[in-house]
Chain A
C-alpha cells in the first residue's frame, strides 16, 4: 500500500514500522466489512468489497474518469483565474503600502464569507453550468493566493531592495529579479493552500448546484455524488466518490510539495 509511504512523508522520523501504519486502517476496514456481513443481504449500507467492485464498475464504464476530468478541469481553470487575480493584486498590494492599508479591511471583510455562501449569487449571475462552479473556485482560491503573495512581497528583506536600488537597477528589474524570487516560497505555499480549498470548493459547488437545481446540468464528481444520493440511491458509489475526492486532494498536496522542493531546494 502506497499510503504507508505517504503517511510517513511528512518529515517525521521513519521509525514507524509498516505494520504499525497499516494496523488501524486495516482493522477499521475489517470491522466495517464484518459489520456489513451481519446485515441482510440486500442492504444498501456500503461495505468495502462492494465499494471496490463499484469502483471498478464505475471506472470501466468511464463515468468516474470523465466526471473526475470535468471537475479537475474546472479546478485548474478556476485556479488559473485566481492565480492571475490573486498574484496580480497581491504584488501591487505587497509593493504599495497605501494600497495595502486601504484594501486590507475589504479583504478581511470578505474572508469569513465561505465560498459556498457565494453560490446563490453565482447561480443568479451565471446559471447552474460551469461558469457558476468556476466562479466559486476562483473566489475560494483567491484569498490564500492574495494573502500569501502580499505576505511574501512585503516581507522581502528591505536591504536586498536597497542594495539593488543602489546598484541602479530599474524598478521593474528589482521586481523581477529581487522581489519575485524572494517572495516565491510564500507564493507557492499560497498556491498549495489555494489548490486545496479550490478542490473542496468545486465538490461543494457541484454538489449544491445539483441539489438545488434538480441535477443534470453541471456535471463533475460532486454532481455525480448528488445523483447517486438522490436518484439511484447507491451508497457504495458515494463512498467511491468520497475516496476518489480524498485521493485527489492528497495527490494535489503531494504535487505542490514536490514543486516546492524543486523550486526552492535551499529550503528543508
Chain B
C-alpha cells in the first residue's frame, strides 16, 4: 500500500527539488568575490528562466495561431487574454471559479471526515483492515469518471453529482495513505509510551497522529489532484455551472478565446490550490523536509 502512495506520487517528485539546487549559492561558500559576478540571487534567476520559457511559449503559440489562421480552432494569445479580462469584468470568471472551488472544498471535507477515521482504525487494527481492504481494492479500480452515468441517475444534474464523484476519487488516496502512515509509525515509539504508562488515547493523539501526519498530508495532496481532475469532468457532463461547465458551454458557442481562457484558469486555480496545500504541508509537518516521500 505504501507502494501505491509512492507510485502515484512519483509523478511529482523530480520537479520539486528546486531546479537550481545544483548551482550552489556562492554566498555560503565564503569565497565571494569570484562568484558574485554571476549576478542575481537564485530566486531571481529562477524567475528569469520561468519568464523566458513562458515568453517563448507564448511566441510559439502566436506563430502557430498566425500560421493556422483559424481563430476558432486556435485563437491567438492576445484574444485569449482579452477574453479573460472581459470574463473577469463580467464577474463570470470569479463566479465559476468560486462554484468549482466550493464544490472541491466541500467534497474534500467529506472525504477527509470519512477516510481519516476509517484509515486510522484500519491502520491500528489488522483485523479490521483484512475485512475492509478487499472491498476497497474491489472498488478502487473503478474510476470516478465511470460512476458519472450512474450518479447522474441518482443525483441528477446539479451540485451533488460533482461532489459525489470528487468524494469518491479523493477517498482512496486519503484512506490508503492514512493506513500506510499509521503502519509506518515506529512500533518502538508506541511501546515506549505504553511502557511509560501513557493512556491509549494519549498515545493516539501524541504519537500515532503526529507520526503519520506526513503521509496523510501526501495523501491529501493526491486527493486534491484527483478531485481537481474529476471536478472538470463531472461539471463538463453533469452540472449547470463551474469551470468544467464553462469550457464546454463556450465551446458549443464557438467562443474559443473564452474556452482557452477558462482552460488556463483551470490550470492556474489547480496550481494555486496545490501551492496552498504545499505550504500547509510545510507548516504542519516542518520536520518532514523532503515534503515528497
Contacts and interface: CB of A to CB of B under 8 A. Distances in A.
B3 A11 contact: yes
A208 B141 contact: no
A52 interface: no
Contact of B146 (A25, A100, A106, A246): A246
Interface residues of A, number: 82
Interface string A78-108: 0000000000000000000100111111111
A207 B50 CA distance: 37
A112 B153 CA distance: 29
Contact of B7 (A3, A25, A189): A189
Contact of A229 (B49, B142, B149, B256): B149
Contacts of A245: 141-143, 146
Given A7-B137, A225-B149, A241-B146, A124 B228 contact: no
Taking residues whose C-beta sits less than 8 angstroms from the other chain, chain B's interface range is 35 or more
Contact of A7 (B133, B152, B236, B266): B133
B73 to A, nearest CB: 6
B149 A119 contact: no
B181 to A, nearest CB: 16
A157 B52 CA distance: 30
A12 B1 contact: yes
A105 B54 contact: yes
Given A102-B49, A105-B54, A246-B142, A193 B233 contact: no
B11 interface: yes
A154 B252 CA distance: 43
B143 A7 contact: no
Given A24-B132, A189-B10, A228 B149 contact: yes
Interface in B243-260: 243-244, 247-248, 250-252, 254, 256, 259-260
Contacts of B268: 112
A24 B252 CA distance: 45
A120 interface: yes
A22 B12 CA distance: 35
A235 interface: yes
Given A104-B19, A229-B152, A109 B236 contact: no
Contacts of B225: 112
Nearest to B131: A24
B244 to A, nearest CB: 7
A239 interface: yes
Given A113-B263, A147-B11, A200 B131 contact: no
B153 A243 contact: no
Given A23-B131, A123-B251, A116 B73 contact: no
B293 to A, nearest CB: 13
Given A112-B271, A193-B10, A200 B266 contact: no
Question: Of B3, B4, B52, B229, which is in contact with the most chain A CB atoms at under 10 Å from its CB?
Answer: B229
A30 to B, nearest CB: 13
Contacts of B274: 112
Interface string A1-29: 00110110011100111001111110010
A242 B134 contact: no
A50 interface: no
Contacts of A115: 229
A15 B133 CA distance: 13
Interface in B10-53: 10-15, 19-20, 22, 49-50, 52-53
Nearest to B250: A120
Given A25-B135, A105-B53, A112-B270, A143 B11 contact: yes
Interface string B216-256: 00000000010011101100110000011001101110101
A25 B137 CA distance: 10
B196 interface: no
B134 A4 contact: yes
B266 A114 contact: yes
A108 to B, nearest CB: 6
B72 interface: yes
A121 B53 contact: no
Interface stretch (A53-61, A159-167, A173-181, A247-255): A247-255
Nearest to B169: A200
Interface in A201-252: 203-204, 207-208, 211-212, 222, 225-226, 228-229, 235, 238-239, 241-243, 245-247, 249-250
Contacts of A154: 14
7 contacts: A24-B132, A106-B57, A114-B266, A116-B236, A124-B256, A147-B14, A246-B139
Interface of A: 3-4, 6-7, 10-12, 15-17, 20-25, 28, 46, 97, 100-121, 123-125, 143-144, 147-148, 150-151, 154-155, 186, 189-190, 192-193, 199-200, 203-204, 207-208, 211-212, 222, 225-226, 228-229, 235, 238-239, 241-243, 245-247, 249-250, 253
Given A3-B134, A104-B19, 6 more contacts: A7-B134, A10-B1, A21-B130, A100-B19, A116-B244, A190-B10
7 A-B pairs with least C-beta separation: A112-B270, A120-B251, A246-B142, A114-B229, A151-B14, A249-B141, A229-B149
